[in-house]
Amino acid sequence: MSERHYRAFSFRRINAMTVNTLTELTRLKVFYVLLIFALLLIGSSMFMAQFTFQQEFQILKDVSLGAMSIFTSLLAIVATARLIPQDIEDRTVYTILAKPVPRFEYLLGKIAGVLLLLAISTLVMGAAFLLVLYAREQTVLHATLRHMSGAPREQIDDALRVIRSSALNADIFPGIIIIYLKACLLAALTLFVSTFATTNIFTIVVMAFVYFIGHLQATAREYWLQEHGASWITRVFLAVVALLFPDLQAFNLVDDIVVGTAISLALFFKTAVLGIFYTSIYTLLAAFVFYGKEL
């Protein structure tokens, strides 16, 4: 046997797993179907009913960012749910883990592949959205210039400034990053569920429940605390629910972006840290369960 020094942790092995997972996912038809649906929805928002240019930009942002959020979430769940059960069913997991590959690296490579896929999808959808928004902004700018051809220069500049601030603004970028982090969180949680699930259908069904509970739990919590007071049993119960089901509504910054409310740096960092924290915790939990799993 050729001399190779074994390393307990190897980025090369993780990289091999990551590249393979990304290849696997990009060769799946479902990936392209979801991406095309998302791009069509973003593109079609260009032709939606419009009254004023502010409303038009609001609708465009609302539909596009909403589509990005839903499709990245859907992709995160569908893509991750199949990875481990499929490997076990096809016995590929035996072949991989019978090599000098620690289970933690196997999982890390899998999740890194999904996160990379989500990053590519978010970039493609984000680029399409910005392109559509830019195209509409230019159309409105030219139309305004035509209408105000005889108006004073200051008045024209003011009108153009209002149009520009209603269309492309800096808040869109942190919004897109938060959409990506929410998808990462869902991918990590799906990976965790799939470590003890036997089929990907089970994982997807569980994740559908988690998705809805995650979006409703903040509202339910507020209502419960207002109506029933805050006894310690209630607080413990709500804390357990919050721990098991991440507050996905906290990642919904789209409404603020649509109405033009500036997203503060503190809110962005708080949400981003929450996303990274949840993603890391769920990945660690998945590794813990998978470590003791009998294959």
Which residue, 7 or 270, has its beta carbon nearer to another protein? Answer: 7
8 Å CB contact between 217 and 185: no
Contact string 26-45 vs another protein (x = CB under 8 A): -x------------------
Smallest gap, in angstroms, from Cβ of residue 251 to another protein?
A: 32
Q: Name which position in 11, 40, 100, 123 contacts another protein (CB under 8 A).
A: 100
Smallest gap, in angstroms, from Cβ of residue 138 to another protein?
A: 41
Tokens of 9: 């942790």
| Count of residues that interact with another protein, criterion CB under 8 A | 29
Q: Is 252 helix (H, G, I), strand (E, B) or coil?
A: coil
Which residue, 70 or 97, has its beta carbon nearer to another protein? Answer: 97
The residue to which tokens 């503060």 are assigned: 264
Q: Is 4 in the site for another protein (CB under 8 A)?
A: yes
Angle between helices 232-244 and 200-228 (to 10 degrees): 150
- Please compute, for residue 35, the number of CA atoms within 13 A of its CA located in the half-sphere on the CB side: 21
Q: Name which position in 78, 96, 163, 189 contacts another protein (CB under 8 A).
A: 96
Smallest gap, in angstroms, from Cβ of residue 25 to another protein?
A: 10
Distance CA 238, CA 218 (A): 10
CA 106 to chain CA mean position, Å: 22
Q: Is 198 in the site for another protein (CB under 8 A)?
A: no
Of the candidate spans 23-31, 155-163, 181-189, 265-273, the one that interacts with another protein by CB under 8 A turns out to be: 23-31
Q: 14-23: b or e for each residue (b if 16 or more CB lie within 10 Å)?
A: beebbeebbe
Of the candidate spans 57-65, 90-98, 188-196, 260-268, the one that interacts with another protein by CB under 8 A turns out to be: 90-98
Q: What Å distances lie between residue 157 and 150, 164, 168, 269, 272, CA to CA? A: 13, 10, 17, 34, 36
8 Å CB contact between 258 and 58: yes
Distance CA 41, CA 43 (A): 5
Q: Name which position in 47, 51, 99, 227 contacts another protein (CB under 8 A).
A: 99
Q: Is 63 in the site for another protein (CB under 8 A)?
A: no
Q: Name which position in 48, 52, 91, 139 contacts another protein (CB under 8 A).
A: 91
Smallest gap, in angstroms, from Cβ of residue 75 to another protein?
A: 18
Of the candidate spans 70-78, 99-107, 115-123, 148-156, the one that interacts with another protein by CB under 8 A turns out to be: 99-107
Which residue, 64 or 80, has its beta carbon nearer to another protein? Answer: 80
CB atoms within 10 A of CB 235: 11
Show the CA angle centred on residue 170, arms to residues 169 and 171, nearest 5°.
95
Residues contributing to the site for another protein (CB under 8 A):
1-2, 4, 6, 8, 10, 12-13, 15-17, 20, 23-24, 27, 90-92, 94-102, 294-295
